[in-house]
Structure 1
């Protein structure tokens, strides 16, 4: 099988995309359709350049696969079976208990979607290389910048592949034979080389708070390189924390552009966040243009949650995923090495409030929790649709079938709390990426961009590197520089100190700052905690092979050169 068959389905989609976005609906015919003739304007070249980014946008913030692989199966999120809803062949129970099998759709999509991004990127790069940028009037350096941005995008896709599966086939062209998997080290080194080669040719963000698009700046490549080194011990068995720390320090010092921590957490995720100085790489979103809900809003929110927002249209939800509960059915806090989610936040943390949209793009809180009667508009109510039909829904930080008390169970004391025993009010929901407005400001919906890399990640990465090197006070200072914005007047009731900073406090801080942002599994694996720790009704397996996912049987069936990951059996 030739690699041109890998891209054969891509070229057709590019044609239809171009036809669909062109202003002129009359077709133009060419005797030979090649880059030199087809891409005859700057607009056409930019469309060609942007096509792989549309897939990247879908992979990061629309399709659920990447988010599910990073968040389900961790101590952050689950999808409980809610009566007759969300059983789905026990797939979410399998995620929760790390019972990964070679037929799980999200795992198949995880492989297909990162590799499709690579194919699309190489396809675009090969076309861009053949275009005469000078004759089309582009500024000098535009071609080099585009090619370097494409290489960096490829590196980001390969980094996801390495993170989820280990070594993967390393394609550098769409004109190659199909390939077997490369080793973990070869994959690591290839990603590193792409970033090293591309970084000098990328644009630099010089204006603090300048509008972010999906432009790949130098700081993006530097941050990806830091992430690669930061997790090198998990990826290739070689600690590279010192190298990661140096890159992070350079980013903070402004070597790769102008960035600064936001002073208000809602500036990072809110309705005007395209100018937030903290964001290094963002996924653009805008009402009626490039809409995205961050991939988890609809599957997470209660069925009738739009009622809480005054009947906001296009806001139907499926009542699926939620946070791992902090409390048992009797209301007692769980006590595990890994911190609780909702109750892990200090009561004085401004984020630990019920989400309420105010007006003009302003909102407060990031949790859907408690009685869902809008406090600013008491006639706006989210009512139950299953277990509590017609009643104001009360979202609990617990997972259990409370409606069965007095029926199947004599008291709350007898209620089981497992991934299989939820009901519609079970579990706190997160309103973080892509918050929703009220109905009277519908045009604000989808206006929040989706942050992909932000400066606080660099601060925390450097902090952990310092901690591992023995500089706990330096690590604490970096974390506290971020934490203070979440408390009134910057007064933190529980700051990180050299005395209280250990493995579990570090993992707690990663959770508090990055809850739901699609990185938890990576953090747990790096600390050796993904398969060795208990949380809620998940029990440690200590099976190290589970740190990587299996390759779906359909992927191996399409390329018989691929070897299955150890522990899952078969070729």
Structure 2
């Protein structure tokens, strides 16, 4: 096996195949790096091809770093200090206040994981270059499909790097010496060239609702390229909304495969979602085989939430992150330009309910909120573990020290509400990725796949492009096409109109549709709102340098050709 001069990332003992593809084989494990002569069977080739996807799976759906970088410094989600829990050296308070420093672990992981993904993909491509696919009996076109999927995977990693850090070193082989950073424009153009080259050669999804198996189809490449153009103004200072709109329209017209909006939102995130026609790219998950929870289930729900689910085993939780509160300690709605979270949802929206698993893969509601007594099974109660030990927990859409009323604080008017003043019941929790069953259907746990790209994003990208070009009615029609599924009979009491659609309504619609899905920072940056807007316990910095993260000191220490981002 060749030596990787970028970094010694190809390690002995790596798990090879964990992602299903068109070749149905079980995982195999190897105790050492395999020699070139190993690739003498189809199974071995598929295993080698899938190794970068193992890392991709970890990056987008298991490790929290990517999600934290996109969510914790925004108006959506925070990790408040809950008494003695979750102070963690004030790291989460720094996120919330945009006090980014060069020693933050999530930022280090953000750089390491996107660049490691690039190295693993190029390493796999170089190994597979020497394989005689014909001699091994592969179908014609298999080699080309693999190579173009790897190219697209590299583009997705580099797109994350561009989004988080700006220009990055552009490696095209594992045999390269270490490189300095390229400019943002060079990085943008390289991603674009990979996607233009590979997308037309990717397989097309020809059957509506066919099972997603993590194969990268043409629509994946098309959406990634649309995302690149959609955010070009914030990446390289060049608006490319017309180019993004053209790709989005082609996707909706079926040029890149057969997809359709789901009529039931739970089918997108639920227990049988591998056949949801809306999903374009997904991370497969299956109980006892390919388990993932999207990286944040245990980071979210209250400590004893498993008891609300009938004592669901293997479902522990750390009671960390929550939505930013909609109300102050006195119960008044916050009034900021950017919309509230839980209370931003219309009361008739079917998602705005307490999460309850029913049976047979069916559930309702998207939030852990209110008194934690299961309405379908009143004997199943989530009790407190800190301030409210033994009592049914009342999860509030507020963040403060309510347990101290009458002692430290006389009335609600005296209570502070900051990212440093929470208790165990503070903040509504979001249940979106990886909903959980009740204990009597334990084997359903982890069966939901994790959607990474879905068709609703294409509708919203096209809508925003139309809005920016002056076609507000066309934009409203696209958004309302998605919104109507959340209201009984499709009767939306607050539709988007040409008269009410502005910057803040557009950002609200992105939030309502994609709350917690790891994209909020990108949307705020595109609208120049990330550093210019106030929300809850966050004051605008008005520092555009903070639209990009710093490079961790260890990254620069490992490659002295790298330069720090401006402002750090």
Match of 1:266 in 2: 266
2:286 is paired with a residue of what secondary structure?
Answer: coil
Secondary structure at 1:452's aligned position in 2? strand
1:453 alignment counterpart: 453
Residue correspondence of structure 1 range 14-413 to structure 2 within 5 A: 14=14, 17=16, 33-34=35-36, 37-413=37-413
Q: 1:482 to 1:24 in 2, by over 3 A?
A: closer
How far does residue 27 in structure 1 lie from its aligned partner after superposition? Answer: 9.3
Q: Cα deviation per residue 1:53-97 (whole Å; 9 max; x = unaligned)? A: 111011001101000000001000000000000000000000000
Question: Are 2:12 and 2:32, in contact at CA under 8 Å, matched by a contact in 1?
Answer: no
State the shift of 1:412 in Å.
1.0
Residue of structure 2 in register with 1:565 after alignment: 565
Deviation at 1:189, TM superposition (A): 0.1
| Deviation of the 1:302 alpha carbon | 0.3
Paired with 1:556 and 1:3, the residues of 2 have a C-alpha distance of: 22
**Alpha-carbon spacing, 1:26–1:157, altered in 2? closer, same or farther (3 Å):** closer
User: Once the 2 structures are TM-superposed, how far is the Cα of residue 13 of structure 1 from its aligned partner?
Assistant: 3.9
Instruction: Tell me the distance in 2 between the aligned counterparts of 1:159 and 1:222.
Output: 13
- Closer, same or farther: CA 249–44 of 1 in aligned 2, 3 Å: same
Mapped to 2, the partners of 1:60 and 1:236 lie a distance apart of 24
Residue pairs, 1:479-518, within 5 angstroms:
479-518=479-518
CA positional deviation for 1:200: 1.4
3-state SS in 2 of match to 1:298: coil
Question: Distance between the aligned counterparts of 1:27 and 1:75, measured in 2?
Answer: 45
2:353 is paired with a residue whose SS is: coil
- C-alpha distance after superposition, 1:208-244 (max 9, x if no partner): 0000011100000000000000000000000000000
Task: Provide the secondary structure at the position in 2 that maps to 1:281.
Answer: strand
Distance in 1 of aligned mates of 2:343 and 2:357: 22
CA distance in 1, matches of 2:508, 2:32: 58
Deviations 1:126-146 (A, max 9, x none): 111111111111110010000
Cross-structure match for 1:537: 537
d(CA) in 2 for partners of 1:421 and 1:210?
48
Q: Which runs of 5+ in 1 are unaligned?
A: none
Shift of 1:9: 3.6
The 2-side partners of 1:193 and 1:381 are apart by 54
Distance in 2 of aligned mates of 1:497 and 1:177? 54
DSSP 3-state at the match of 1:261 = coil
Displacement of 1:394 in angstroms is 0.5
Question: How many pairs align?
Answer: 561
2:424 is matched with which residue?
A: 424
CA distance in 1, matches of 2:12, 2:32: 16
Q: Secondary structure at the match of 1:12?
A: coil
TM-score w.r.t. structure 2 length?
A: 0.97
- Specify whether residues 23 and 484 from structure 1 end up closer, same or farther in structure 2 by C-alpha distance, changes over 3 A only: closer
Counterpart CA distance in 2 for 1:25 and 1:328 is 53
SS of corresponding position for 1:180: coil
Secondary structure of 1:297's match? coil
User: Which SS does the other structure have where 1:447 is aligned?
Assistant: coil
Contact 1:7 1:120 in 2 (8 A): no
2:384–2:392 CA contact under 8 A, matched in 1: yes
Q: Distance in 2 between matches of 1:350 and 1:3?
A: 54
Task: Check whether the contact 2:165–2:549 (CA below 8 A) recurs between aligned residues.
Answer: yes
Q: SS of 1:280's equivalent? A: strand
> How far 1:385 sits from its partner (Å)?
0.1
User: Relative to 1, partners in 2 of residues 1:505 and 1:24: Cα closer, same or farther, differing over 3 Å?
Assistant: closer
Match of 2:464 in 1: 464
What's the counterpart of residue 22 of structure 2?
none
Give the TM-score, by structure 1 length: 0.96
2:31, 2:194 → 1: CA distance?
Answer: 37
Higher mean Cα deviation, 458-467 or 38-47?
A: 38-47
CA offsets, 1:120-172, max 9 Å, x none?
10110111111111111111001000000000000000000000000000000
- Measure, in 1, the Cα distance between the counterparts of 2:187 and 2:512: 31
Which whole-Å CA distance do the structure 1 matches of 2:396 and 2:31 have between them? Answer: 57
Q: Indicate if the aligned counterparts of 1:100 and 1:550 stay in contact, CA closer than 8 A.
A: yes
Report the alpha carbon displacement of residue 28 of structure 1 after superposing the two structures with TM.
12
2:5–2:176 Cα contact (<8 Å) kept: no
Give the secondary-structure state (helix, strand or coil) at the position aligned to 1:475: helix
